[in-house]
Amino acid sequence: MSLIWLVPLLPGFGAALNGLLGIRFFSKRAAGLVACVTMGLAFGISIWAFVGLLGLAPAARAYDVVLATWIPPIPLETAHGIGAFEAPWGLRLDPLSGLMALVVTGVGFLIHVYSIGYMDGETRGAYARYFSYLNLFCFFMLTLVLGSNLLVMFVGWEGVGLCSYLLIGYWYEKQSASDAGKKAFIVNRIGDWGFVLGIFLVFFTFGTLDFRAVADAAASMPVEAAGFGTLSLICLLLFIGATGKSAQIPLHVWLPDAMEGPTPVSALIHAATMVTAGVYVVARNAVLFTHAPMVMQIVAIVGVLTALMAATIGLVQNDIKRVLAYSTVSQLGYMFLATGVGAFAAAVFHLMTHAFFKALLFLGSGSVIHAMAGDQDMRRMGALKKYMPVTYVTMLIGTLAIAGIPPFSGFFSKDEILYRTFLDNRLLWALAAVTALLTAFYMFRLMSMTFFGGYRGPAWQHGADAAPGGGHGAGHGGHGAWHGPHESPRVMTVPLMALAVGAIVAGFVGVPQALWGNNAIEHFLEPSFTASAAVRGEAVAGGADATTDAARAETGAEAAHEEGGAHLSRGAEWGLMLFSVLLAVTGIWIAWRNYVVRPQVAASLAERFAGPHRMLTNKYYVDELYGATFVRGTLDGARGLWTFDRRVVDGAVDGSGWITRLSAWISHMLDTYVVDGLVNLLGWVTGEGSYVLRRVQTGLIQNYALLMLIGVFGLLTLYLLTR
Partner 1 sequence: MVPITPAHYLVLSASLFVIGVIGVLVRRNVIVILMSIELMLNAVNINLVAFAREWQHVVGQVFAVFVIVVAAAEAAVGLGIILAFYRNKETVNIDEMNLMKW
Q: Which residues bind partner 1 (CB under 8 A)?
A: 690, 694, 697-702, 705-706, 709
CB 313 within 8 A of CB 623: no
Within its chain, how far is the Cα of 240 from the centroid?
Answer: 13
> Closest distance between partner 1 and the C-beta of residue 671, in Å?
33
> Closest distance between partner 1 and the C-beta of residue 700, in Å?
5
Closer residue to partner 1, CB minimum distance, 618 or 703: 703
> Closest distance between partner 1 and the C-beta of residue 681, in Å?
22
> Closest distance between partner 1 and the C-beta of residue 656, in Å?
54
Closer residue to partner 1, CB minimum distance, 634 or 698: 698
> Closest distance between partner 1 and the C-beta of residue 675, in Å?
30
Closer residue to partner 1, CB minimum distance, 648 or 707: 707
3-state SS, residue 147: strand
CA–CA distance, 232 with 219 (Å, rounded to integer): 14
| CB atoms near residue 241 (< 10 Å) | 27
> Closest distance between partner 1 and the C-beta of residue 670, in Å?
35
CB 469 within 8 A of CB 391: no
Whether the ω angle into residue 527 lies within 30 degrees of 0, i.e. cis, is no
Backbone angles phi, psi at 299, to 5 degrees: -60, -45
Closest C-alpha to 335, from 435, 202, 212: 435
Q: What is the DSSP string of 151-217?
A: HHHHHHHHHHHHHHHHHHTSSTTSHHHHHHHHHHHHHHHHHHHHHHHHHHHHHHHHS--BHHHHHHH
CB 487 within 8 A of CB 387: yes
Q: How far is CA 310 from CA 252, 282, 323, 395, in A?
A: 9, 21, 9, 21
> Closest distance between partner 1 and the C-beta of residue 712, in Å?
10
| CB atoms near residue 624 (< 10 Å) | 12
> Closest distance between partner 1 and the C-beta of residue 708, in Å?
10
Closer residue to partner 1, CB minimum distance, 611 or 699: 699
Closer residue to partner 1, CB minimum distance, 534 or 700: 700
Closest C-alpha to 17, from 6, 3, 7, 32: 32
Closer residue to partner 1, CB minimum distance, 656 or 703: 703
What are the beta bridge partners of residue 519? none
CB 390 within 8 A of CB 493: yes
> Closest distance between partner 1 and the C-beta of residue 679, in Å?
23
Closer residue to partner 1, CB minimum distance, 603 or 712: 712
Closer residue to partner 1, CB minimum distance, 566 or 709: 709
Closer residue to partner 1, CB minimum distance, 464 or 696: 696
The answer for residues whose C-beta is within 8 angstroms of residue 504's C-beta and 6 or more apart is: 397, 401, 407, 408, 409
The alpha-carbon radius of gyration of the chain (Å, integer) is: 38
Closer residue to partner 1, CB minimum distance, 617 or 690: 690
| Backbone region of residue 705 per phi and psi (left: phi > 0; alpha: psi in -120 to 50; beta: other values) | alpha
Closer residue to partner 1, CB minimum distance, 604 or 698: 698
Residues in the chain: 723
Q: Is 515 exposed, middle or buried (0-12, 13-18, 19+ CB in 10 A)?
A: middle
In this structure, the strands spanning 63-78 and 81-93 are antiparallel
Closer residue to partner 1, CB minimum distance, 226 or 705: 705
Closest C-alpha to 574, from 640, 486, 625, 514: 514
3-state SS, residue 82: strand
> Closest distance between partner 1 and the C-beta of residue 723, in Å?
19
Whether the ω angle into residue 250 lies within 30 degrees of 0, i.e. cis, is yes
Closer residue to partner 1, CB minimum distance, 569 or 702: 702
CA–CA distance, 255 with 493 (Å, rounded to integer): 26
> Closest distance between partner 1 and the C-beta of residue 680, in Å?
21
> Closest distance between partner 1 and the C-beta of residue 702, in Å?
6
CB 366 within 8 A of CB 328: no
> Closest distance between partner 1 and the C-beta of residue 687, in Å?
12
Closer residue to partner 1, CB minimum distance, 618 or 697: 697
> Closest distance between partner 1 and the C-beta of residue 717, in Å?
16
Helix (H) or strand (E) holding 341: none
